[in-house]
Amino acid sequence: MESKKNIAVITGASSGIGLEFAKQLDSDQRIDEIWLCARRENRLQDLTQSLNKTTKIIAGDVTDLIWQNRFYQELEQNNVQIHTLINSAGMGKKGTVEEIGCKNNAYMIDLNCRALTIVCSICIPFMAIGGRILNLSSVAAFLPQPRFAVYAATKSYVLSYSRALHRELKSKEITVTAVCPNPMETEFFQHTGKPQEISSIKKIGLEQVEKVAAKALRRSERKKDISLQSLSAKFVRIVARILPHPLILWIEEKIGL
Ligand SMILES: NC(=O)c1ccc[n+]([C@@H]2O[C@H](COP(=O)([O-])OP(=O)(O)OC[C@H]3O[C@@H](n4cnc5c(N)ncnc54)[C@H](OP(=O)(O)O)[C@@H]3O)[C@@H](O)[C@H]2O)c1
């Protein structure tokens, strides 16, 4: 019987750090093919042109049951095992919970938490022994963040879920890494709304997608369950552990975060 192809699956591959992961995994000799997922198919086609490896485009909305079924069928019908899964599809809306409204709040949860969990659940039976999953969380996971409340909470979910899943999958030698970057200059900020508030978020320091992706891949190679790129992100994590949260919320208000 023909041996299984080793694939990488990337959601959110059409821009930002997802696209960067595709570029970096293109030189990984252990991966035969890269599967690219996002809604903008033309972007994924452009990306395909710039990669050396064979790709498969599974365009669509990852929150959509039809896309999820199609994705499962593709895995089942092809003779593949997943070497690397990157869950990068995500978005965040800025503003109070009331301003953002029911529909957008629910959508953030659907995309950042529900779809990510479903994609992991679909992929786990197809994971190679020694495979890896990288889930995009954020430095926002460490703190409650008024005016970014639902987004920060979704990223706390991703962090907690990923760390627990890392433990669960240890016996299968699968590493799950929660990637927790500071703000990065990507299209993410084109979708947050409230451009006047974005500059205060960026005050905590912008990170480069190239470095964040490279570090995350190194951390997952070392079987770590969390990846932080910058010193300031590590500082935020420590502060969030030490200080009582009412004090953190007060500081956030004072510095305009
Ligand atoms: N940028 C930051 O400051 C920052 C910081 C920390 C963490 N993060 C996290 O990093 C991840 C990637 O963000 P980014 O900065 O790379 O932003 P980005 O450039 O806006 O990329 C987001 C990606 O998600 C895809 N996507 C969005 N909704 C989707 C849907 N319903 N179905 C399928 N794909 C969808 C987008 O593609 P289509 O529009 O083509 O579907 C795009 O490829 C997110 O989870 C984000 O929360 C970002």
The total number of structural domains that make up the chain = 1
How far apart (Å, rounded) are the C-alpha atoms in residues 143 and 140? Answer: 6
Helices and strands: H and E segment counts in the chain: 10, 7
- The pLDDT, as a whole number, for residue 150 is 98
pLDDT at 34 over 80: yes
Question: What would the pLDDT profile of 41-94 be if each residue is shown by its tens digit?
Answer: 999 999 999 999 999 999 999 999 999 999 999 999 999 999 999 999 999 999
Phi, psi torsion values for 186, nearest 5 degrees: -130, -175
198 lines ligand 1 (CB under 6 A): no
Pocket test of ligand 1: the residue of 65, 88, 226 to mutate, having most ligand atoms within 8 Å of its CB, is 88
Question: What would the pLDDT profile of 223-252 be if each residue is shown by its tens digit?
Answer: 999 999 888 889 889 999 999 989 989 888
Amino acid type, 10? I
Question: What would the pLDDT profile of 177-207 be if each residue is shown by its tens digit?
Answer: 999 999 999 999 988 887 667 776 666 678 9
* Global pTM value: 0.96
Tokens 């092809």, residue located: 78
Give the CA count within 13 Å in the CB-facing half-sphere of 123: 31
**Domain of residue 176, residue span:** 5-255
Phi-psi region of 11 (alpha: psi -120 to 50; beta: other; left: phi over 0): beta
The domain spanning residue 23 has which CATH number? 3.40.50.720
Tokens 């320091």, residue located: 205
Ligand 1 atom having least distance to the Cα of 151: 47
- The pLDDT, as a whole number, for residue 2 is 80
